[in-house]
Structures are given as structure tokens and as C-alpha cells.
Structure 1
Amino acid sequence: MSGLDTPSPGGSGYSTSGGVETVAIVVVTYNRADLLANLLAGLARLERPADAVIVVDNASTDHTAEVLATWVSTAPAGGTRRQVITSPDNLGGAGGFHAGVKAAYDEGFDRIWLMDDDVVPAPDCLTVLLAQDPDSSDCLMSVRENTDGSLIELAATRFDLRNPLAIKPKTASVMTSYPDRASMPERVELANVAFEGFMVHRRVVERIGLPDPTFFIFYDDVDYALRARRAGWRIWAVRDARLVRQLDFSQQHDLSSWKGFYMYRNLFVVHLRYGENALVRAKPWAITLAVTLVALLRGRRGEASNVIRALRAARGMRTLPATSVD
């Protein structure tokens, strides 16, 4: 990988000094230069600026490189460090966050705040997150909304890996539990997160390791949250930490496409790794059989092929990733 960055105002590493924790924001981007530019402008408007912003460019082919070069070259002296990591290949969101979190961890930051290129935090978002009780704030989640202010936080409040009859493990989310932000308590406990506003303390990374790059896309954030919770951490969505999506949210994908393969495979991996009993861990085989039969009856041979390949691939990913951050 290659990269460019502004000089570090604090030397080669960062660490807590005088009780003030340092924050690095990690952004992963791919071929959405204009959305990225809006996000970077939003990060510059934060009331409490981050100590660094690390952007992982997943081999974009649009004008992302020009946006990032201008962004680095126009960094104000003594301000937030701006760093770009350019991958020669598209690592997917999972690989991008793996690289970005590793860079932030290696450079010694106390907190790492993850986000995609299609969101913009409210100016006080980081201020609100850092104001949380330090004894229960190692894993925090910003709460997403649409540009019209409507709540669009889909992080799960219940994620059922015990009931083999639960077709989808996410049985409740912030959005399905509360009609709007005003209806939420100040903090809501989460069962999983999205890498779109999730803030993690370095002690969590030290214990559970980095995001698993083999997921490529989908469920890498779910996997990471499950690992954190299994290690004893609780995850909190912070009502007043607002993160605004630039695009309408949609999880509808063609299950016959390459994305469909990853959706099936990674869902199966989560069941195989974290299923709480043998019946739940057997669900991938039941889902594969059902999907294959229905898809073939409806002429969707691509989806049938995807789900069969996904099961085969998922079996090779049952082992949890190493916890080392080296």
C-alpha cells in the first residue's frame, strides 16, 4: 500500500496525555469522490476536531485521488493530521477497515471512530461521544438519520443466535424499537453495530484484534461487535450523537450477483462462529437447501449457485481470526 499524509503534530505516536484521549477517524472509500468530499468537509466542522483522519482508498478509479491530494495539501498547520492509505487493490470495506484500524492502533490513538464515505457527522457528534461515562464507553455507536432528520439506525438491539427458527438473527433494531430520536433514551444497548459511526477504544482492539478482512463486505461489523461482546464489553448507541446519511439506505441486493454471494457466505460465517447451539450452527445447511430449491423453481440459477458456493466458502471461515494486532 502507498500513502500520503500531513506531518504528525505530536511526533511518531499518540497517547493519552493529561487525561485527554486522542481520536483517529478511519474512513474507507471506493469510487464515491463527491460523497467523500462532503464527509471530509463535515469532519473539518467538528466542534472537537479529531487528532487524525485516516482515509483508506480502495483502489478508486474515479477522481477520489484528486480529492484526497487536495485535502492533504490544504491541511491547516497544526490541525488534524490528514493521512491517506492507498490500496493497489479493492480490499472491500472489511479489508479497508482492517488496514485503517491497524494504522490508527499502531500510531497509538486511544479511540478509533469508523465511518463510510456516505455519512456526515453533526458538528457536536464527537463532542457528545467523548462526554460519555469513561467507565462504560469503550464501544459507542453514533445514531444515524436521513437528511430529513428521520431515524435510520438499523443496528440490532436483539440479535438471536440461539433460536434455530429465527429466519434472520436480527430480530429488533433501534429503528424498529423507537419511532424517532426523541423517543429514545439517552443510551440504547446494542447487540451489533455498523462500521458507520462506531467508536472503539484501543484496549478493545488490543484484546479482540482487528476487523476480519476476509469478510470483504457485509457482516464484518457484526462479527466485530460479537467478538467485543463475547470479550465482556457492552455496546451503547448514543442518542444525541447524530450521524447523517447522504444517501437513502437500502440493503436490497440482487442475490444472484457477486454481492449476493458475500451476503450469504458472511451470514453463514456468523452462524458457524457464534451460533449458541448445534441447531443454530446447522442453519446454513437448512437455508442453503431451501434457497436452492426455491431459486431453481423460479429460474434463479445464479442465486442457487451463489448460496451453494457461499456455504462451501463459509465452512473454511469458521475459525475466529487471530487477536494479534501485529
Structure 2
Amino acid sequence: MTHETVAVVVVTYNRADLLERMLVGLGELERLPDSVIVVDNASTDHTSAVLGAARNPGLQVVRSEDNLGGAGGFHLGVRTAYRAGFDRIWLMDDDVVPAPDCLTVLMALDRDCLMAVREDTAGHLVEKAATHFDLRNPLTIRPKTRMVETDYGSRDRMPELVEVQNVAFEGFMIRRTVIDAVGLPDPSYFIFYDDVDFAIRARRAGFRIWAARDAVLVRQLPFDQQHDLSGWKGYYMYRNLFVVHLRYGENALVRRKPWLIAATVVLLSALRGRRAEADNVIRAMRDARGMRAVPTRSVD
């Protein structure tokens, strides 16, 4: 498989210092990618200067006039790489740095969908890709019930390949045949769950997703999923969680679960005096209903 071409797609927004370290890491890979496609989501910091000084072979900068969010950025970047004819596409956020042999390991594996396995800067396993993503049990509030990190605890306890049921667009690699089958990442998510949606579509099309133990990806920032549910990120977290259930719930009860969650949040918010969170979840439920259709397989 080493003859296959590969493009890295990076999405960035106002994190120039992280992006710079990430590009340096890509430049130090044993097996260099054939192209590095950076989608600049209308950054207003010194991202342009970092990109102008970068010396990565095959560097292509795609600048958006507006902030498309992570979902829109990956849609644009994957579409660019796909149209350029690359055999594999490796998706990255700007806050990760691959180990020098990471791409070598991935390209040696004959799998259509692969995940590099993340660790923090201290070397601790922090891979949160789900080993079980439950869209069947209506009593499961959060569908991710198990993940690589909790199943294994450390990298040395993992087998060489671990099958996962969802992914993060941090080190996820796909062959173009996957895009042929399921289309592009859905830009309408803006942020959160666009990667989950893509993984569900890929699995339902018959593809298996494997986390590769020896493909090391170092996350530069700690995970912080405790977003303000009364703020703008809270709206997207609620809305996109609801969309995943409405689109892919495996029975009628799971597909109705968003209404139960929304009603519960509204009630509790009223009791706690959190009107902003109640407004968020009401708007999220309304907007999620308009996103119930699964994306087409178009690559336009």
C-alpha cells in the first residue's frame, strides 16, 4: 500500500501557534504526505504568516471568506483532496502532532478507514473514539458508552488494531472509495458530531473502522468537553446530538429520545433559573428536525 498517495487535510481557525507546531510535525514525518491541504477558516490572528513561512512539500492553502466551522472546513478540505485524486485522505485538527512514524504505520495497513491513536503530551492514552456507540437503547442518554481509553487504559494494553464505532477528525484516514460510497462530511453540523455522522454513514455502508495502536498522535491541548450549555456551543451540542438520534436511531423510541431530553432540560432549567439553556434546547430541537435527512452521496 506504500504506493498509494495521501493528502493531509487540516482545518484551522485562530490557533496559529498550534498550527505552526503541527506543520513542523508533519514536516518531520518519515513518510511525507504528498500534499498538506490547510483550510483557513477566516482566521484573524497570524495564521497567514505561519502558512506563508511553512515549507511543507505540497502545501496548499484554502482560505474561506467566512468561518465555516470544523464541519464546513472538513467538507471543503476533503472535497479539495478528493477532486485532486489522492488515494487516501488523512484528517487533522490543528492541535495534534503525529509521531515521526505515524503515517508510515497507517499507510502500511490495508484498511479503508483508520484512526491514529491519541495520547496527551505526557504520553497517557486519551483516545476517545467509541468502541460502543449505542443508538438502540432509548435509556442511554449519551450514545458513547465505551471508548478506547476506558477499555484499555494504556497503549501497551491494546491489540494492534481495535475496531471502533465512531471517530474524531483528528487522525482519521479514509480511502477515496469511502467517499465514493457515502459522500463528504456534512457541513451543516458546523461543529460537533460531524465526525460521528460520517463514521455512522461509513459503517452502514459496510466499512469497518480500525484504531491503529502503533500510529501515535499527540494532542497538544487537554480535552475540555464541559462547554457552557447556555452559550452558542451548547446550542450546537444539543442540536447535533439530536440530529444523530433523529437520523440514525435504530428504533422509534431512540428517534423520539431528543424530545424527552429537550423536555427534561427545559423543566430543569426552569427550576434552576437557567432560561438561556432552555432557549438553546428549544431552538436546537426545532432546528434538528429540519436536518433529519441523511446527506446524499454527492462529492460536489
Instruction: Quote the residue 1:87 is aligned against.
Output: 64
SS at 1:314 equivalent: helix
Instruction: Quote the residue 2:297 is aligned against.
Output: 323
Q: For 1:250-289, what aligned pairs fall within 5 Å after superposition?
A: 250-289=224-263
Instruction: Quote the residue 1:214 is aligned against.
Output: 188
Overall identity of the aligned pairs, in %: 70
Q: Which amino acid aligns with 1:95?
A: G
Q: Which amino acid aligns with 1:117?
A: D
Question: Which of 48, 52, 60 is the equivalent residue of 2:31?
Answer: 48
1:122 aligns with 2:104: no
- Count the aligned residue pairs: 300
Q: For 1:56-95, what aligned pairs fall within 5 Å after superposition?
A: 56-71=39-54, 74=55, 80-95=57-72
Residue 237 of structure 1: how far off its partner (Å)? 0.2
Query: Counterparts of 1:251 and 1:181 in 2: how far apart (Å)?
Result: 22
Q: For 1:26-175, what aligned pairs fall within 5 Å after superposition?
A: 26-71=9-54, 74=55, 80-132=57-109, 134=110, 137-175=111-149
Instruction: Quote the residue 1:299 is aligned against.
Output: 273
TM-score, L = length of structure 1: 0.91
1:25 aligns with 2:12: no
Query: Counterparts of 2:129 and 2:287 in 1: how far apart (Å)?
Result: 26
Unaligned runs of 5+ in 1: 1-15
Query: Counterparts of 1:103 and 1:55 in 2: how far apart (Å)?
Result: 10
Unaligned runs of 5+ in 2: none
SS at 1:282 equivalent: helix
**How much is the aligned-residue C-alpha RMSD, in angstroms?**
0.9
Over residues 8-36 of structure 1, what are the superposed CA-to-partner deviations in whole Å (9 max), with x where a residue is unaligned? Answer: xxxxxxxx9xx710000000000000000
Query: Counterparts of 1:178 and 1:257 in 2: how far apart (Å)?
Result: 34
Query: Counterparts of 2:136 and 2:242 in 1: how far apart (Å)?
Result: 14
SS at 2:26 equivalent: helix
1:185 aligns with 2:159: yes
Query: Counterparts of 1:315 and 1:216 in 2: how far apart (Å)?
Result: 16
SS at 2:264 equivalent: helix
Query: Counterparts of 1:200 and 1:168 in 2: how far apart (Å)?
Result: 26
SS at 2:153 equivalent: coil
Question: Which of 214, 222, 243 is the equivalent residue of 1:240?
Answer: 214
Q: Which amino acid aligns with 1:126?
A: L
Query: Counterparts of 1:170 and 1:283 in 2: how far apart (Å)?
Result: 15
Residue 60 of structure 1: how far off its partner (Å)? 0.4
Residue 191 of structure 1: how far off its partner (Å)? 0.5
TM-score, L = length of structure 2: 0.99
